[in-house]
Amino acid sequence: FLGIIYDMGVANGLFPLLIFMGVGAMTDFSPLIARPKLALLGAAAQFGIFTTLLGALFLSQTFEGINFTLQDASAIGIIGGADGPTAIFLASKLSPDLLGAIAVAAYSYMALVPIIQPPIMRALTTQDERTIKMSQLRDVSRRERIVFPLLVLGICILLLPDATPLIGSLMFGNLLRESGVVDRLSDAAQNELINIVTIFLGLAVGSKLAAGKFLTAETLGILLLGLVAFAIGTATGVLLAKLMNKLSSEPINPLIGAAGVSAVPMAARVVNQVGQEYRQDNMLLMHAMGPNVSGVIGSAVAAGVLLALAG
């Protein structure tokens, strides 16, 4: 039973694509469209992925009992994107033996966003920076919301074909939402489809968590590297936001840089919560959603790059 589910949806990469379709149907890209430059914050947060790739190779060279290949290191690095489906998709292609540990690490750190991120955000920002109030986002037309997923898909097909399955599924789900003519299909993608696939995905990944393969030095290394990747991604997003605030004529609260990791929408909620701790009327949720959704796109692009280089 578990083997059938694994072969049906994980070994061939189908389940992560279906989850991305559901995520796309649930995601509003309006904050990103209204202020496109915030996409840079999502890109900066992917820095943790490539740093962790190098860290995995370093551990492999330094410690006995840890032997990560370039494919293994690439699959481990994607944990820094804080995107479970992307991590599973890449691990199933590059490092199936480590799939269970990588999936557990990715989803664990997604769940620990409210614990891991706030201390990093506070350490890298000042009191004055945390109280910056950003200007209201402009209204985004329906035409812009429909053109955006088509444009992103076209660019991805031309420049990074290996990322097209993930980006294509995400943008197709979003197009279902924004077209306004297939509400029933959009609702199904957001609810029934993603819930069913999540159950199957959990069973399939759980089947790879046998004690003999999971309780090893390599697994502990993966969990440690995942934490480092996530922390670096959060820090680089905040630091770039601080730099953008210095260079921009519009005020940018550096806290929103932490939402560049693609844990949607948890990271954006954490940013909003931390912002309100220092200023009650500071509503950063929609502003943080811009980097947050760009982080989803960024992690999928990073997965495509790693697949092209190490596959």
92 with 15: CB under 8 angstroms?
A: no
What is the Cα–Cα distance from 245 to 133, expressed in whole angstroms? 12
* pLDDT score recorded for residue 209: 83
What is the pTM assigned to this prediction?
0.90
Q: How large is the average pLDDT for residues 35-59?
A: 87
Which among 117, 88, 119 is positioned nearest to 206, based on CA atoms? 88
166 with 89: CB under 8 angstroms?
A: yes
Cα torsion angle, 90, 270, 19, 300, sign: negative
How many C-beta neighbours within 10 Å does residue 126 have? 10
pLDDT, tens digit, 9 for 90 and up, residues 275-301:
999 999 899 999 999 999 999 999 999
What is the band of 177 on the pLDDT scale with cuts at 50, 70, 90? Answer: very high
What is the Cα–Cα distance from 179 to 56, expressed in whole angstroms? 43
Give me the chain's average pLDDT, please. 91
Number of residues assigned to the chain: 311
Most confident of 88-97, 183-192, 205-214: 183-192
What is the band of 214 on the pLDDT scale with cuts at 50, 70, 90? Answer: confident
Which among 243, 260, 227, 282 is positioned nearest to 108, based on CA atoms? 227
Provide the 3-class DSSP secondary structure of residue 251: coil
What is the Cα–Cα distance from 50 to 56, expressed in whole angstroms? 10
How many C-beta neighbours within 10 Å does residue 51 have? 18
Which among 38, 42, 101 is positioned nearest to 267, based on CA atoms? 42
Cα–Cα distance list, 227 to 45, 266, 303 (Å): 14, 17, 18
How many C-beta neighbours within 10 Å does residue 57 have? 18
* pLDDT score recorded for residue 161: 92
